[in-house]
């Protein structure tokens, strides 16, 4: 029996938005923490740390997100951790975000003139203090725009979690479409909802960038 | 400068070692390129050394080895009785005692002048913030910019920024100050204010190693001039002797070039 595409169906899809947002938030926080650690290791003077983290970044940048989701999902079951789309999607997207954010932030850290590190070092500041008070505050300013830009990619990327059975926005669209056979309407709504999330983020990125530009011109 | 800083007391006290920096057989390579070759140099406490030489001769590398911004591959450096070898041990102890001023100022642009000055004292020496601020204001007054404390570096002129950089280094109460061409990036009209600050510092008894081509400054302040070429110390002599009667041909050639390109910043000092 074919269901009509009515308010209940719309509501079902709109409600699924929270899972997309939740997954994005988890991946962003997980990716942010991991990404910072990887970026710091990637820019350190310790060779083996640099090599390992470079490999990690290359691996995740050189493979499709969908494969990363599959590998984490099936890898978890092979390791006997059970098949849980939530955990798998969160883990895979966090790793993915960590790799990409690390690469973005590495660029921002390296964009700070070496004289800053030299001056801080000459003043006797150890590595951690130097990073925290001198390098990262400056790197953050230039990192904001590309980071929010990546967040937009990440939100859109969560749609792939539908394939391993995680019911977020895209998957709820597929479910409703299977019942109503109104693909154009259904997926227009789904796309519209992604846009409603992503467009303000892009807008925010531009605003933050402008405000920081003003602050640094002070 | 009026009041003599309390720093000069223990500096000249009997307990203080009389040698500030001793470099013995220091060799430094960048890859296969040898930037320093068998450097032997002893700087006495309170002594002012001016290092000069052609571009690429290793002047910056030499002073950057003293606070280990560059690691050395052979030889020994002793700073304030703390030994630095090739292993990178003791670097943190040495850096606390050695202040450095760079050609490009290298102030932290996201911090006010005052914040620039108190960062290291509070985070490295663990001095209370209020005390660090008081010290910073004292040194900012000494370099004649007490009113700029709450500005950001970008709001200051080059000469003011360099004086902040000097004050920032002094806030750590260093025993030795290193200067790497501190006036080379400045507009000509700002050179003298920075040199005057350095002269004040010299007169207060600070141990200084300055890479500079300001010959007026060298004549007035330096106890000895070190002339470098191709990673080696070619000549060490008191300024009068070095400028009037350089022994080595390379030094004569270099002085000839300097004379042509550099006008002395201090009009009171006769041209060499
Ligand atoms: N990080 C580095 N890597 C490779 N080579 C370097 C590095 N730093 C300096 N060198 C080389 O070492 C030599 C000495 O450099 P240094 O900066 O000490 O010269 P300098 O006497 O200070 O010159 P200048 O008057 O131009 O500042 C130069 O030939 C330079 O190219
Ligand atoms: Mg130099």
Of A116, A124, A216, the CB nearest to B120: A124
A173 assigned to some structural domain: yes
Least confident of A66-70, A84-88, B148-152: A84-88
Q: For residue B262, what pLDDT is reported? A: 61
Of B108, B152, B165, the CB nearest to A134: B108
Q: Is the pLDDT of residue A179 over 50?
A: yes
> Which DSSP symbol is given to A3?
P
Interface contact A125-B98, CB threshold 8 A:
no
Q: Which residue in the block uniquely carries the two structure tokens 């920024």?
A: B161
Q: For residue B2, what pLDDT is reported? A: 43
Ligand 2 geometric centre to CA of A92 (Å): 49
With a 6 Å cutoff on the Cβ, whether B30 touches ligand 1 is yes
Q: Whose CA is nearest to atom 22 of ligand 1?
A: B60
Q: Which residue in the block uniquely carries the two structure tokens 């005390």?
A: B131
Which atom of ligand 1 is the closest one to the Cα of B228? 21
Q: Does A82 touch chain B (CB under 8 A)?
A: no
A25 assigned to some structural domain: yes
Of A113, A120, A126, the CB nearest to B92: A126
- Indicate which ligand has the atom closest to the C-alpha of B254: 1
CB pairs < 8 Å spanning A and B: 63
Ordered strands of the B74-79 beta sheet: B33-44, B19-30, B74-79, B82-84
Could you give the CA distance from residue B14 to residue A216 in angstroms, rounded to a whole number? Answer: 49
Give the pTM.
0.88
Pick the closest to residue B97 from B216, B17, B187 (CA basis): B17
A33 assigned to some structural domain: yes
Q: For residue A19, what pLDDT is reported? A: 96
Interface contact B95-A124, CB threshold 8 A:
yes
Q: Could you tell me where the DSSP H helices lie in chain A?
A: 7-42, 47-61, 65-78, 85-111, 114-122, 127-129, 136-157, 169-180, 183-216
Task: Tokens for B4, please give them.
Answer: 């003599």
Compute the average pLDDT of residues A108-130.
97
Q: Which residue in the block uniquely carries the two structure tokens 């041909």?
A: B249
Q: Do A22 and A86 form a contact (C-beta atoms < 8 A)?
A: no
Could you give the CA distance from residue A84 to residue A76 in angstroms, rounded to a whole number? Answer: 9
Write out residues in chain B with pLDDT < 50, as ranges. Answer: 1-14, 266-272
With a 6 Å cutoff on the Cβ, whether B59 touches ligand 1 is yes
Q: Is the pLDDT of residue A56 over 90?
A: yes
Q: Does B117 touch chain A (CB under 8 A)?
A: no
With a 6 Å cutoff on the Cβ, whether B58 touches ligand 1 is yes
With a 6 Å cutoff on the Cβ, whether B60 touches ligand 1 is yes
Helix axes A47-61, A7-42, angle to 10 degrees: 150
Q: Is the pLDDT of residue A59 over 70?
A: yes
Q: For residue B90, what pLDDT is reported? A: 87
A1 assigned to some structural domain: no
Tally of structural domains, chain A = 1
Q: For residue A77, what pLDDT is reported? A: 86
A67 assigned to some structural domain: yes
Tell me phi and psi for residue B269, to 5 degrees.
Answer: -90, 130
Of B110, B155, B172, the CB nearest to A123: B172
Q: Do A157 and A96 form a contact (C-beta atoms < 8 A)?
A: yes
Q: Do B69 and A118 form a contact (C-beta atoms < 8 A)?
A: yes
Q: For residue A206, what pLDDT is reported? A: 84
CATH number of A42's domain: 1.10.3720.10
Q: Is the pLDDT of residue A213 over 90?
A: no
Pick the closest to residue B86 from B27, B21, B38, B20 (CA basis): B27
The whole-chain average pLDDT of chain A stands at 93
Q: Which residue in the block uniquely carries the two structure tokens 């997980």?
A: A30
With residue B44 as reference, give the H or E element that holds it.
strand B33-44
With b for 16 or more beta-carbon neighbours within 10 A and e for fewer, the B196-234 pattern comes to bbbbebbebbbbbbbbbbbbbbbbbbbebbbbbbebbbb
Testing the interface with B: which of A113, A123, A129, A143 to mutate, by most B Cβ within 10 A? A123
Q: Does A128 touch chain B (CB under 8 A)?
A: no
For residue A18, the enclosing domain spans: 7-213
- Indicate which ligand has the atom closest to the C-alpha of B55: 1
Could you give the CA distance from residue B47 to residue A96 in angstroms, rounded to a whole number? Answer: 57
A2 assigned to some structural domain: no
Centre a 10 Å sphere on the Cβ of residue B77 and count the other Cβ atoms it contains.
23
Ligand 2 geometric centre to CA of B239 (Å): 20
Residues in chain A within 8 Å Cβ distance of B104? 115
Tell me phi and psi for residue A57, to 5 degrees.
Answer: -65, -45
Could you give the CA distance from residue A28 to residue A159 in angstroms, rounded to a whole number? Answer: 15
Q: Is the pLDDT of residue A14 over 90?
A: yes
Interface contact A125-B123, CB threshold 8 A:
yes
Could you give the CA distance from residue B17 to residue B224 in angstroms, rounded to a whole number? Answer: 20
Closest residue of chain A to B94, computed from CA coordinates: A124
A218 assigned to some structural domain: no
Q: For residue B72, what pLDDT is reported? A: 93
Compute the average pLDDT of residues A69-94.
91
Could you give the CA distance from residue A181 to residue B33 in angstroms, rounded to a whole number? Answer: 72
Which atom of ligand 1 is the closest one to the Cα of B231? 14
Residues in chain A within 8 Å Cβ distance of B182? none
Could you give the CA distance from residue B190 to residue B183 in angstroms, rounded to a whole number? Answer: 8
Q: Do A124 and B95 form a contact (C-beta atoms < 8 A)?
A: yes
């Amino acid at each position: 029996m074919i269901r009509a595409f009515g308010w209940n169906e719309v509501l079902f899809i709109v409600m699924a938005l929270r899972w997309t947002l939740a997954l994005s938030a988890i991946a962003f926080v997980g990716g942010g923490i991991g990404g910072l650690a990887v970026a710091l290791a990637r820019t350190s003077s310790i060779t083996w740390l640099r090599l390992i983290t470079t490999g990690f970044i290359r691996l995740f940048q050189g493979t499709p997100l969908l494969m990363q989701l599959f590998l984490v999902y099936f890898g978890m079951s092979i390791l006997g951790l059970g098949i849980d789309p939530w955990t798998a999607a969160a883990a895979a997207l966090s790793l993915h975000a960590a790799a990409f954010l690390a690469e973005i932030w590495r660029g921002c850290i390296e964009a700070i003139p070496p004289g800053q590190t030299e001056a801080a070092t000459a003043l006797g500041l150890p590595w951690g203090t130097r990073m925290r008070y001198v390098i990262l505050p400056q790197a953050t300013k230039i990192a904001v725009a590309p980071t929010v830009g990546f967040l937009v990619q990440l939100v859109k990327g969560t749609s792939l979690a539908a394939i391993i059975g995680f019911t977020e926005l895209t998957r709820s669209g597929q479910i409703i479409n299977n019942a109503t056979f109104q693909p154009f309407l259904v997926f227009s709504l789904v796309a519209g909802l992604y846009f409603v999330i992503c467009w303000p983020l892009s807008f925010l990125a531009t605003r933050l960038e402008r405000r920081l530009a003003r602050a640094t011109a002070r | 400068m009026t009041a003599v800083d309390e720093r000069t007391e223990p500096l000249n006290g009997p307990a203080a070692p009389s040698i500030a920096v001793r470099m013995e057989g220091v060799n430094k390579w960048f890859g296969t390129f040898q930037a320093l070759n068998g450097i032997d140099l002893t700087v006495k406490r309170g002594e002012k050394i001016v290092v000069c030489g052609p571009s690429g001769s290793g002047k910056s590398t030499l002073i950057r080895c003293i606070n280990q911004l560059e690691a050395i591959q052979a030889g020994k450096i002793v700073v304030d009785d703390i030994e630095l070898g090739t292993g990178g041990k003791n670097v943190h102890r040495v850096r606390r005692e050695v202040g450095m001023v760079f050609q490009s100022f290298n102030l932290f642009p996201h911090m006010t002048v005052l914040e620039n000055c108190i960062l290291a004292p509070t985070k490295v020496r663990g001095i209370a913030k209020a005390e660090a601020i008081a010290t910073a204001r004292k040194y900012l007054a000494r370099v004649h910019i007490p009113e700029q404390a709450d500005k950001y570096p970008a709001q200051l002129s080059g000469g003011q920024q360099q004086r902040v950089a000097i004050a920032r280094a002094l806030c750590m109460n260093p025993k030795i100050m290193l200067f790497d061409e501190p006036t080379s990036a400045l507009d000509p009209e700002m050179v003298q204010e920075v040199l005057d600050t350095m002269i004040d510092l010299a007169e207060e008894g600070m141990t200084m190693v300055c890479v500079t081509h300001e010959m007026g400054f060298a004549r007035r302040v330096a106890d000895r001039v070190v002339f470098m070429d191709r990673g080696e110390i070619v000549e060490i002599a008191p300024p009068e002797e070095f400028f009037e009667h350089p022994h080595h041909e390379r030094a004569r050639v270099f002085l000839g070039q300097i004379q042509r390109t550099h006008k002395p910043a201090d009009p009171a000092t006769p041209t060499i």
